[in-house]
Amino acid sequence: MADAAAKPRWLPYAAVVAGTAALTAVLRLPELRMDPVNAALMYLFPVLIAAVYGGRGPAVAAAGAGILAFDFFFVPPVLSFTVADLRYLISFAVYVAVALLTSELAGRLQRQVRQAVMQQKQTAILYDISRSMSDVSDLESLVRSFRAGIGSLTGEEAVFYLPESDGRLARFGAEPAAPDEQEAELRRIVDIAARQTAGEGASIRILDGRTLLLPLTAQEERLGVLVLRGDPREPGAWPADRARCEAVAGLAAGALARIRRGEEARLAQVTAESERLRAALLDSVSHELRTPLAEMIGSSSALLESGPLFGEAERRELLVSIRGGALRMDRLVANLLGMVRLESGMLRLRQDWVGTDELVGAALRQLKEARGSRLIELCLGDPAPLLRGDPVLLEQMLVNLIGNAIKYSPDGSRVQIAAGEKDGAVWMSVRDEGIGIPAEDRDRIFQKFYRSSNAASVTGTGLGLSIAKAVAELHGGSIAAGAADGGAGAVMTVELPLGMADRDRGGSE
């Protein structure tokens, strides 16, 4: 459009005159000995060329220039506009008719070619818009992709009005408009258009003739309104092809419906997963609490009701049972609170240098009564490796790992705790001689509430290893489960960096 506007309007006509003059000079060459009949045919070429490249006006000008040149230079008497033989007037009329018909056909062909090229370009743009919309999965990307596509297709400004949570339409994908009278009127008509369905009028032209409103509907569901605005510098500007704009709006409505369905599906999935986790948590916690509570209630009731009948050793055994139940409940509550704190993301990771021997010692003190007659073997090196991290969280991680090894191994078996340095990292492992972990469960056991298929006979919540994994990853490390040497038992290996740069992440403060 800019190139066409910049080209002077007289230029095609000047080219026609110059071309006719050049053709006349060639036809007048003595070597050609051009007779009037052949000369008349030759003057059709400027008409055809002018019609193809200039349109009807230059073609008519070429026909007129050709008649004048033919009459002046080739019709007797030559070098005069006088026509001695009136039969030439019939030739002139036929020439003009042929020239006009030729120019009309050539111009129509030119318009068809231009229209085909434009349609091909628009089809390619529509295809690109459709493909880009099929790839996006969020509203922001959809609006950005659509605005770019509609700008390439029509040159119009596209603004979405989409419903918020309260059902009111909000401007989306453009800068907030000034609250002037025109914008207020636009909002009023947008609200009207939003209440329309596809059968009640697909589009509305409003205000100053520069704005097109397209209700976005999919399967009779109102999704919002698309507003297309022309260039305000061009009074009376109107989107060039309303049907094309409505087709693009249909693509946008389909993409909006797909995104909304995806959000609803994700919400349903999250709700279902939350419900599943809630049920698993209640089941695990109720089962895990019931056993120690029963022990504590039974032992305390026996002491209260039949205390004088028990000897010192028996009373001590009952007290140990009460204490053991309380410790189990304490570890359960600690795991639950730990998971909440780790998932909240609102706490700061405290970083101190701490030795692996200190962490292991603190964890073993918490598990003193739980380990029973199991043999604890320490292979921590001399000196024990140091690492930088949150001592409270790291201790909780080891309590869970060692507690699992104790829980799933028989009395009298060996639990080995080892640590060392390798490739700029500290590794710690807990190895037991228990029931082991099936190969297919070694990745899944770190999921919340998941328990190995061979652990049904042992009580547990399925939280301990998921907390250990979260703590390890919080410190920039990793954790893996494997089989102990010889195939009997399991080994849990944690790798943590020697030191970490200070960074805000969930932690113990």
Residue 233, pLDDT score: 43
Residue 198, pLDDT score: 44
List residues bridging with 429 in a β-sheet.
418, 493
Residue 207, pLDDT score: 52
CA atoms within 13 A on the CB side of 207: 22
List residues bridging with 386 in a β-sheet.
355
Residue 1, pLDDT score: 42
Residue 206, pLDDT score: 54
Which SS3 state, helix, strand or coil, does residue 89 take? Answer: helix
Identify which of 433, 431, 435, 434 has the alpha carbon closest to the alpha carbon of residue 481: 431
Query: What does each C-alpha distance from 406 to 395, 467, 483 come to in angstroms?
Result: 16, 17, 16
In the block, residue with structure tokens 């309007």: 9
Query: What does each C-alpha distance from 153 to 126, 203, 222, 241 come to in angstroms?
Result: 8, 18, 25, 10
Could you give all domains of the chain from N- to C-terminal order, each with its CATH number? 2-128 (no CATH), 137-265 (3.30.450.40), 348-497 (3.30.565.10)
Q: How many CB atoms lie within 10 A of CB 293?
A: 14
CA–CA distance, 149 with 141 (Å, rounded to integer): 12
Question: Per-residue pLDDT for the chain (509 aa), expressed as one digit of tens each?
Answer: 444 445 678 888 888 889 888 988 888 888 777 777 788 778 888 887 887 777 778 888 888 888 888 888 887 787 887 777 777 777 778 777 877 787 778 778 877 888 788 777 767 766 776 676 666 667 777 777 777 766 666 666 777 777 776 667 777 666 555 566 556 656 666 666 656 554 444 555 555 566 777 777 777 677 777 777 665 444 444 445 666 777 777 777 777 777 777 777 887 877 776 666 566 556 556 656 666 777 788 888 887 877 677 777 887 888 887 887 787 777 767 766 766 666 666 556 778 888 899 999 988 988 887 888 889 999 988 888 888 888 888 888 898 899 888 888 888 899 999 999 888 889 999 999 888 888 888 888 888 777 777 776 676 667 788 888 888 888 889 999 888 776 678 899 999 987 653 344 444 44
Inter-residue contact 349 to 390 (CB < 8 Å): yes
Torsions phi, psi for 508 (to 5 deg): -100, -5
Identify which of 336, 332, 384 has the alpha carbon closest to the alpha carbon of residue 360: 384
Residue 417, pLDDT score: 92
DSSP 120-181: HHHHHHHHHHHHHHHH--SHHHHHHHHHHHHHHHH--EEEEEEE-TTS-EEEESSPPPP--H
Which SS3 state, helix, strand or coil, does residue 45 take? Answer: helix
Residue 175, pLDDT score: 59
Inter-residue contact 266 to 247 (CB < 8 Å): no
CA–CA distance, 507 with 405 (Å, rounded to integer): 25
Four-CA torsion 113, 118, 124, 129, nearest 10 degrees? -160
Q: How many CB atoms lie within 10 A of CB 346?
A: 8
Four-CA torsion 71, 77, 82, 88, nearest 10 degrees? -60
